[in-house]
Structure formats: structure tokens, C-alpha cells
Chain A
Amino acid sequence: MKQFMHDFLLVAKKDLRIEIRSRVIINQVVPFAVLVLVLFGFALDADQRTLRLFSPGLFWVAVLLSLLLAIQRSVSLETVNDSLTGLKLAGLSPIAIFLGKSMAIFAQIVVLEIFLTGGIIIFYGSVIEDPTLWVVAGLVTAIAVSVTGTLYGALASGLEVRETLLPILLLPVLAPVLIGATKAYSGALGETVSNGWQWTGLLSLFALIAATLGSLAYGVLVEE
């Protein structure tokens, strides 16, 4: 178990260190997500009332689109120099690699969520009425999308058309997460009558199933 935790943290730290040094998340992914929020504003004719009403859905669509970039980046880290083979040859357990990479994506998504929260407050004029629900639902959803994204990133890795294949495979699977997270955030914003905690519970269940399935499947995927 000690060895497992060591391997898990090693992979997570490695990915995060690369991200911190390259600044891709801050320089590219976060600006892209904010740009998506701004484009929604243009598309909805900058009507702040409408934007406030739909801000939970727009928030999570921006997260999912940005997640695709983060996953592509995470996969390319392992494929460019065939680093994944190196990790396997070093004797790291596939489950530790999977959870470590998921952890790194999770941290990036949380950073993204912080910026987007600021974005909807500034651009859309949203007011968070239940901050606890906002934070808990945000963290649980970040776990759900990170583990699912890492699994599907591995599924699409090493293929010539990875960039186009990943959204087709991943977004339908994450559709229930989008629905649940939007409902939870609607409750936190008080825009609609929605039992946010109940939806957060469902999201936790999704995250648990995705993490378990991902841990089991990742070994099969990286045995190539």
C-alpha cells in the first residue's frame, strides 16, 4: 500500500510539475474556457438575466470543452517519448498510473473551476447562495470528469485521429455528469428549485463507478 501511494503521488507530481513548468493550463486552457464563457455571452445577446439563468449549464459546458484540451495534453505527455512504457518498465502499477494521472487532471480542473467561477460572477452577474454546495459539487464533478477523461484519453491514445475521436467517445459518457452538475449548481445559485445535494450524491456515485471501472480497465489498455 505504501508503495502504491508512492507510485500514485509520483505520477501525479510528475504530470503537475510538467504542467506548472509549461504553463499550458494557465496560458491556454483557462483562457480558452473564459473565451467560451464570453462567446456564450455574445450568442445569447449579452442578456444578463438569461445568462444568469443558464450560467450553471454554460459553466459546465465550458469545463467539458476545456477538459478535452487537458486530456489531450495529458495523453501527449505519455506518448511523445513513449513515456508510458518507461513508467511500466519502472514497475509502476497501472492503477497507480491511472489514479496519479487522474489526480493531476483533477487539480487542473479545480484551477479551471476557480477561474470560471470568477468568470460567471463578473460576466454573468451570478450570485452563489450556497457556497458549500458549490464547492462540494465542483470537487465531486471534477473527480468524475477526471477519472472518466483519463480512461478515455488512454482509449484514444496512440491512434492517428485521437483529437477527433476523443470528443466522440468521451462527451456522451459525460452527458449524465453535465446534467447532474448543472442541476447541483442551479441549486447552489438559487436560480431554479433543484435539490443540489441529491444531484451531488448521484455525481459521487458516478465518480465512484468511473474510478473503479477506470482502475480495472486501465491495466488492460496499457498492456500493449
Chain B
Amino acid sequence: MFKQNQGVTSSPKSRLLGFATLLGLVTLFVFAFFLTDPDVRLHPTTGEEIGQFDAVRLLYLHVPMAIIGPYLAPLVGAVASVGYLIKRTPWWDVTANAAIEVGTIFCGLVLVQGSIWGRPVWNTWWEWGDVRIMTTLILFLMLLGYLALRRIVADEHKQARRSAIVALVAAINLPIINRSVEWWESRTLHQKSTLSELKIEDLTFFTLMMGIVVFLMLFTWLVLHRFRLGWLEKESLEQEALTAIAERRAEATTNEEETS
């Protein structure tokens, strides 16, 4: 896996992945903000210019983040949580925590960035009636609850078991978020899936695909490092406990010798 005794979270392969991700992010920004065209169309009857204009550029970041934050990360967390409940080994627990922690940040960014995009396009910062926004917000709050549970000092196994159940309950929300725009068509400003219906093409499609790949790399890199950090934290705690036991034993032996 990686050299745990070094006390660092990087390895040659993860450094390579990090460098490739950085390069990908720079390329994505160039494509999204300079090379692609703004969304400008002509109204069929009035001939007036309509569309999202430059705000569409934010979607090259929003869509990849929306795939990872509210879907992929909680899904990985839920799968790892099932793994923990079956195997009861810390590897699964640390993986679930890493995926959900990174996913929570992405999920929060999706809400903030979506709000920034919504202001010029939908003419509102926040739309209470939109089911996808609401289901994503509920998931974000659930993930915050998961993180709050993880921060509590408790027995390692007790915490892992409880966290796994919270992650599984949160995962129930995933299909609801995904299908919400289809199930409640009249209760959303979000459009149906653009990618699956192949409504976009050429450079726009290429940039969006590149965004998904780059953000997947970023997610992998972040989860990898968070996992390694979590593993080092676990080992450090175990080491502290062993040292404390050894110190107590040594203290007891010294006291016995002094008494005798």
C-alpha cells in the first residue's frame, strides 16, 4: 500500500496522480473559461439573444462536482460501510470516512456553486420548490451529521458501527436525488439528464467529459490522502495506548521493587 512508518501520506504513484490532476485542472479551466463558446441562442419568434451566456461555463465544474459530491462519494461510503458491517475491519471504516468527508466538501461546493450559477440563469440564489436542490441539501445535512458523529471521542468499534449505519441511511437518498427531476417534473427548475440524451456535442461535450475525468482524479487523490491520514491517526492512537500501558507497567514494577 504505502510506507506507513514514514508518517507521510504521499507515495510516488500518488504524487504522479496529484501532478496529473493539477495539470488536468489547469487544462479544464482553460477550456471552460477561454476555449468554449458562451451559450447564446436566438429566440425562434422574436430573434432576441437568449441562453445562459457566460454562466454556462460554471457547468463544466458544477456537473462533475454534482456527480461526485451527492452520488459517487456517498455511494463509496455506503459500500465501504456495508464492507465494515460484514468484515469488521478498520480498512473499510477508514475508507468510508475518507470518501464521505471528501464527498461532503464536494456536496457543499455543488450547493454553493449551483446557487451562484442560479442567480443569473434562474434569477434566484435559492429555489425552495426545486426537488433536486432540496434532496441534495438534505443529503448534505445528513453527511454533516455523519462527520459530527465521527468527531466524537468514543470506542473505535462503537463509532465505526454507528457511522456505518448513518452512511447507509444517507445512501437511501441517492436514488431519490437522481430520479427527482423525472418523478417531480413540475417541481424542478433542473433539466433532465443532458448527457444521457446526448443533447450537447463537440467542444462543449469534450470539455464536460474532461471535467468529469479530472474531478474523478481529484476525488481519488483526495480520498487516497484522507485514507492514509486516517490510517496514520488510527495507528498513532493505538501506539499511544500501547505506550501508556507500558508506562503504567513500568511504574507498577518500580513501585513493587521499592516496596520490597
Contacts and interface: CB of A to CB of B under 8 A. Distances in A.
Given A159-B152, A161-B152, A175-B138, 20 more contacts: A155-B149, A155-B166, A158-B154, A158-B158, A159-B154, A165-B148, A165-B152, A168-B141, A168-B144, A168-B145, A168-B148, A169-B149, A173-B169, A217-B165, A220-B85, A221-B161, A221-B162, A221-B165, A224-B158, A224-B161
B149 A165 contact: yes
Interface string B103-146: 00000000000000000000000000000000000100110110
B161 A172 contact: no
Contacts of B154: 158-159
Interface of B: 85, 138, 141-142, 144-145, 148-149, 152-155, 157-158, 161-162, 165-166, 168-169, 172
Contacts of A114: none
A176 interface: yes
Contacts of B152: 159-161, 165
A5 interface: no
Contact of B165 (A158, A159, A176, A220): A220
Interface string A99-141: 0000000000000000000000000000000000000000000
A209 interface: yes
Given A155-B166, A160-B152, A176 B144 contact: no
Interface of A: 151, 155, 158-161, 165, 168-169, 171-173, 175-176, 209, 213, 217, 220-221, 223-224
A172 B141 contact: yes
B207 to A, nearest CB: 34
Nearest to B157: A224
B148 A155 contact: no
Contacts of A172: 138, 141-142, 145
A201 B162 CA distance: 30
Contact of A173 (B142, B153, B158): B142
Nearest to A223: B161
A141 B206 CA distance: 48
Contacts of A151: 165
